[in-house]
Amino acid sequence: MGEPTRVAVLGATGRMGRRVLEVLAEAEDLTCVASVARTRSAEVSPLGPECFGDAEVVIDFSLPEGLRAAVPFLGDAALVSGTTGLTQADEAMLDRRSEQAAVLHAANFSLGIELLRTLVRRATAAFPYADIEIVETHHRRKVDSPSGTALLLGRAAALGRQVVLEDVAVMGRDGSSGARASGEIGVHALRGGDVVGDHVVHLLADGERLALTHRATSRATFAYGAVRAASWIVGRPPGRFVLSDVLGP
Protein backbone atom coordinates (compact mmCIF):
# COMPACT_ATOMS: atom_id res chain seq x y z
CA MET A 1 0.00 0.00 0.00
CA GLY A 2 1.27 3.51 -0.86
CA GLU A 3 1.28 6.58 1.32
CA PRO A 4 -2.11 7.29 2.94
CA THR A 5 -4.18 10.12 1.45
CA ARG A 6 -3.75 13.34 3.44
CA VAL A 7 -7.10 14.73 4.60
CA ALA A 8 -8.02 17.92 6.47
CA VAL A 9 -11.34 18.40 8.24
CA LEU A 10 -13.11 21.77 8.36
CA GLY A 11 -15.72 21.95 11.12
CA ALA A 12 -13.71 19.44 13.14
CA THR A 13 -15.34 20.28 16.48
CA GLY A 14 -18.91 19.97 15.19
CA ARG A 15 -21.35 17.07 15.33
CA MET A 16 -20.39 15.93 11.82
CA GLY A 17 -16.71 16.88 11.96
CA ARG A 18 -16.19 14.71 15.05
CA ARG A 19 -17.76 11.70 13.28
CA VAL A 20 -15.52 12.28 10.26
CA LEU A 21 -12.44 12.31 12.52
CA GLU A 22 -13.57 9.00 14.06
CA VAL A 23 -13.97 7.43 10.62
CA LEU A 24 -10.58 8.77 9.51
CA ALA A 25 -8.95 7.36 12.65
CA GLU A 26 -10.13 3.88 11.60
CA ALA A 27 -9.15 4.21 7.94
CA GLU A 28 -5.80 2.74 6.91
CA ASP A 29 -5.58 4.48 3.55
CA LEU A 30 -6.32 8.00 4.84
CA THR A 31 -4.66 10.16 7.44
CA CYS A 32 -5.90 13.39 9.01
CA VAL A 33 -3.26 16.12 8.68
CA ALA A 34 -5.31 19.11 9.92
CA SER A 35 -8.43 19.75 12.01
CA VAL A 36 -9.87 23.23 11.52
CA ALA A 37 -12.77 24.95 13.28
CA ARG A 38 -13.92 28.28 14.65
CA THR A 39 -12.58 27.56 18.11
CA ARG A 40 -8.86 27.42 18.78
CA SER A 41 -7.49 24.54 20.88
CA ALA A 42 -4.44 22.32 21.09
CA GLU A 43 -5.97 19.87 18.59
CA VAL A 44 -7.79 22.30 16.31
CA SER A 45 -6.47 25.17 14.18
CA PRO A 46 -8.42 28.30 13.33
CA LEU A 47 -8.95 29.20 9.67
CA GLY A 48 -6.03 30.99 8.09
CA PRO A 49 -3.17 30.61 5.63
CA GLU A 50 -1.63 27.11 5.76
CA CYS A 51 -4.38 25.88 8.11
CA PHE A 52 -4.99 22.85 5.88
CA GLY A 53 -1.31 21.89 5.85
CA ASP A 54 -0.39 19.68 2.90
CA ALA A 55 -3.85 18.09 2.68
CA GLU A 56 -4.76 16.55 -0.67
CA VAL A 57 -8.46 16.84 0.16
CA VAL A 58 -10.49 18.91 2.62
CA ILE A 59 -13.71 17.48 4.05
CA ASP A 60 -16.04 20.32 5.08
CA PHE A 61 -18.98 20.11 7.47
CA SER A 62 -19.11 23.67 8.79
CA LEU A 63 -21.49 26.49 7.94
CA PRO A 64 -21.78 28.53 4.74
CA GLU A 65 -19.67 31.31 6.29
CA GLY A 66 -17.02 28.76 7.29
CA LEU A 67 -16.86 27.39 3.76
CA ARG A 68 -16.69 30.91 2.29
CA ALA A 69 -13.83 31.81 4.61
CA ALA A 70 -12.00 28.54 3.87
CA VAL A 71 -11.99 28.57 0.06
CA PRO A 72 -9.09 31.05 -0.27
CA PHE A 73 -6.91 28.77 1.90
CA LEU A 74 -7.54 25.49 0.05
CA GLY A 75 -4.40 25.67 -2.09
CA ASP A 76 -4.38 22.71 -4.48
CA ALA A 77 -6.58 20.49 -2.30
CA ALA A 78 -9.75 18.88 -3.60
CA LEU A 79 -12.91 19.72 -1.67
CA VAL A 80 -15.65 17.42 -0.37
CA SER A 81 -18.33 19.55 1.25
CA GLY A 82 -21.50 18.56 3.08
CA THR A 83 -22.35 22.02 4.38
CA THR A 84 -25.97 22.94 3.71
CA GLY A 85 -27.78 26.26 3.46
CA LEU A 86 -25.55 27.42 0.60
CA THR A 87 -26.74 30.43 -1.40
CA GLN A 88 -26.59 30.77 -5.18
CA ALA A 89 -23.50 32.94 -4.67
CA ASP A 90 -21.92 30.10 -2.67
CA GLU A 91 -22.70 27.66 -5.49
CA ALA A 92 -21.07 30.09 -7.94
CA MET A 93 -18.03 30.24 -5.64
CA LEU A 94 -17.79 26.42 -5.77
CA ASP A 95 -18.13 26.53 -9.56
CA ARG A 96 -15.19 28.96 -9.71
CA ARG A 97 -13.16 26.83 -7.33
CA SER A 98 -13.84 23.78 -9.51
CA GLU A 99 -11.92 25.41 -12.37
CA GLN A 100 -8.84 24.98 -10.19
CA ALA A 101 -9.43 21.70 -8.35
CA ALA A 102 -11.98 18.90 -7.94
CA VAL A 103 -15.08 19.84 -5.90
CA LEU A 104 -17.86 17.58 -4.70
CA HIS A 105 -20.78 19.00 -2.73
CA ALA A 106 -23.60 16.80 -1.46
CA ALA A 107 -26.45 17.88 0.79
CA ASN A 108 -26.62 14.30 2.03
CA PHE A 109 -23.89 11.68 1.94
CA SER A 110 -26.07 8.66 2.75
CA LEU A 111 -26.64 5.88 0.24
CA GLY A 112 -30.29 5.69 1.31
CA ILE A 113 -30.99 9.31 0.31
CA GLU A 114 -29.20 8.80 -2.99
CA LEU A 115 -31.53 5.87 -3.63
CA LEU A 116 -34.57 7.83 -2.43
CA ARG A 117 -33.73 10.62 -4.87
CA THR A 118 -34.08 8.16 -7.76
CA LEU A 119 -37.26 6.65 -6.32
CA VAL A 120 -38.85 10.10 -5.83
CA ARG A 121 -38.13 11.13 -9.41
CA ARG A 122 -39.67 7.91 -10.71
CA ALA A 123 -42.66 8.03 -8.35
CA THR A 124 -43.58 11.65 -9.10
CA ALA A 125 -43.37 10.97 -12.85
CA ALA A 126 -45.43 7.79 -12.55
CA PHE A 127 -48.07 9.36 -10.26
CA PRO A 128 -48.67 12.65 -12.09
CA TYR A 129 -51.91 13.70 -10.36
CA ALA A 130 -50.69 13.15 -6.78
CA ASP A 131 -49.96 16.26 -4.68
CA ILE A 132 -46.36 16.33 -3.43
CA GLU A 133 -45.54 17.42 0.12
CA ILE A 134 -42.12 16.94 1.72
CA VAL A 135 -41.72 16.94 5.50
CA GLU A 136 -38.33 16.93 7.18
CA THR A 137 -37.46 16.65 10.89
CA HIS A 138 -34.11 17.56 12.46
CA HIS A 139 -32.62 18.14 15.91
CA ARG A 140 -33.23 21.46 17.66
CA ARG A 141 -29.77 22.90 16.87
CA LYS A 142 -29.99 22.75 13.09
CA VAL A 143 -29.71 26.31 11.75
CA ASP A 144 -30.90 26.09 8.13
CA SER A 145 -34.41 25.23 6.99
CA PRO A 146 -35.72 23.52 5.05
CA SER A 147 -32.86 21.03 5.08
CA GLY A 148 -30.55 20.71 2.10
CA THR A 149 -31.82 17.15 1.76
CA ALA A 150 -35.47 18.29 1.58
CA LEU A 151 -34.44 20.65 -1.24
CA LEU A 152 -32.54 17.84 -2.96
CA LEU A 153 -35.65 15.63 -2.76
CA GLY A 154 -37.81 18.56 -3.90
CA ARG A 155 -35.58 18.92 -6.97
CA ALA A 156 -35.92 15.18 -7.66
CA ALA A 157 -39.72 15.50 -7.39
CA ALA A 158 -39.69 18.54 -9.67
CA LEU A 159 -37.55 16.67 -12.19
CA GLY A 160 -40.13 13.87 -12.23
CA ARG A 161 -42.77 16.48 -13.10
CA GLN A 162 -40.46 18.28 -15.56
CA VAL A 163 -40.69 21.57 -13.66
CA VAL A 164 -38.20 23.70 -11.73
CA LEU A 165 -38.53 23.45 -7.94
CA GLU A 166 -38.13 27.20 -7.38
CA ASP A 167 -41.16 27.83 -9.67
CA VAL A 168 -43.53 25.54 -7.76
CA ALA A 169 -42.19 25.28 -4.19
CA VAL A 170 -44.29 26.41 -1.22
CA MET A 171 -42.06 26.58 1.85
CA GLY A 172 -44.48 26.03 4.74
CA ARG A 173 -48.07 27.25 4.96
CA ASP A 174 -49.49 29.74 7.38
CA GLY A 175 -52.81 31.46 7.93
CA SER A 176 -55.28 31.75 5.11
CA SER A 177 -53.08 30.42 2.35
CA GLY A 178 -56.02 29.46 0.13
CA ALA A 179 -56.71 26.15 -1.55
CA ARG A 180 -53.73 24.15 -2.68
CA ALA A 181 -52.77 24.95 -6.28
CA SER A 182 -52.18 21.93 -8.46
CA GLY A 183 -48.51 21.39 -9.19
CA GLU A 184 -47.29 22.89 -5.91
CA ILE A 185 -44.48 21.09 -4.09
CA GLY A 186 -44.84 21.81 -0.37
CA VAL A 187 -41.77 21.66 1.86
CA HIS A 188 -42.10 21.71 5.65
CA ALA A 189 -39.54 21.67 8.46
CA LEU A 190 -39.93 20.33 12.02
CA ARG A 191 -37.24 21.00 14.63
CA GLY A 192 -36.73 19.30 17.97
CA GLY A 193 -34.98 16.73 20.12
CA ASP A 194 -31.95 14.86 18.82
CA VAL A 195 -33.35 13.75 15.44
CA VAL A 196 -30.42 13.09 13.09
CA GLY A 197 -32.59 13.54 9.99
CA ASP A 198 -35.99 12.24 8.83
CA HIS A 199 -37.42 12.95 5.39
CA VAL A 200 -40.84 11.91 4.13
CA VAL A 201 -42.01 12.58 0.58
CA HIS A 202 -45.80 12.32 0.49
CA LEU A 203 -47.69 11.70 -2.74
CA LEU A 204 -51.31 12.48 -1.93
CA ALA A 205 -54.03 11.56 -4.41
CA ASP A 206 -57.79 11.12 -4.20
CA GLY A 207 -58.45 7.71 -2.69
CA GLU A 208 -54.86 6.70 -2.03
CA ARG A 209 -51.54 8.03 -0.82
CA LEU A 210 -47.92 7.01 -0.77
CA ALA A 211 -45.16 8.08 1.62
CA LEU A 212 -41.50 7.50 0.81
CA THR A 213 -39.49 7.73 4.00
CA HIS A 214 -35.82 7.91 4.96
CA ARG A 215 -34.66 8.04 8.56
CA ALA A 216 -31.01 8.57 9.44
CA THR A 217 -30.26 7.19 12.89
CA SER A 218 -26.53 7.87 12.99
CA ARG A 219 -24.29 10.67 11.68
CA ALA A 220 -21.67 8.01 11.02
CA THR A 221 -23.66 7.19 7.85
CA PHE A 222 -22.90 10.66 6.45
CA ALA A 223 -19.31 10.58 7.69
CA TYR A 224 -18.59 7.26 5.94
CA GLY A 225 -20.10 8.64 2.73
CA ALA A 226 -17.99 11.79 2.87
CA VAL A 227 -14.79 9.88 3.62
CA ARG A 228 -15.52 7.51 0.74
CA ALA A 229 -16.00 10.56 -1.51
CA ALA A 230 -12.68 12.01 -0.25
CA SER A 231 -10.82 8.79 -1.18
CA TRP A 232 -12.46 8.83 -4.59
CA ILE A 233 -11.83 12.49 -5.45
CA VAL A 234 -8.06 12.60 -4.89
CA GLY A 235 -6.30 12.56 -8.24
CA ARG A 236 -9.41 13.66 -10.18
CA PRO A 237 -9.09 16.61 -12.53
CA PRO A 238 -10.63 20.01 -11.71
CA GLY A 239 -14.43 20.00 -12.02
CA ARG A 240 -17.72 19.66 -10.14
CA PHE A 241 -18.65 16.15 -9.09
CA VAL A 242 -21.73 14.67 -7.42
CA LEU A 243 -22.23 11.73 -5.07
CA SER A 244 -23.56 9.47 -7.82
CA ASP A 245 -20.16 9.86 -9.57
CA VAL A 246 -18.61 8.22 -6.49
CA LEU A 247 -21.22 5.51 -6.08
CA GLY A 248 -21.25 4.57 -9.74
CA PRO A 249 -24.19 3.36 -11.84
**What pairing do the DSSP bridges indicate for beta strands 239-241 and 102-105?**
parallel
- Structural contact between residues 158 and 164, judged by C-beta atoms closer than 8 angstroms: yes
- Positions marked catalytic: 138, 142
Question: How near is the Cβ of 52 to ligand NAD at its closest, in Å?
Answer: 12
Q: How far is the CB of 118 from ligand NAD (least distance, A)?
A: 17
Q: Shortest Cβ distance from residue 83 to ligand NAD (Å)?
A: 4
Q: Which residues contact 203 (CB under 8 A, 6 or more apart)?
A: 123, 124, 127, 130, 131, 132, 209, 210, 211, 212
Nearer to ligand NAD by Cβ, of 108 and 124: the residue is: 108
Whose Cβ is closer to ligand NAD: residue 46's or residue 183's? 46
Residue nearest to ligand NAD (CB): 14
Amino acid at 241: F
Contact between residue 233 and residue 80 where contact means Cβ atoms under 8 Å apart = yes
Nearer to ligand NAD, 107 or 246 (CB): 107
Q: How far is the CB of 142 from ligand NAD (least distance, A)?
A: 6
Closer of 12 and 151 to ligand NAD (Cβ)? 12
Binding residues vs ligand NAD (CB under 6 A):
11-17, 37-39, 47, 61-63, 65-66, 69, 82-85, 106-109, 144, 222
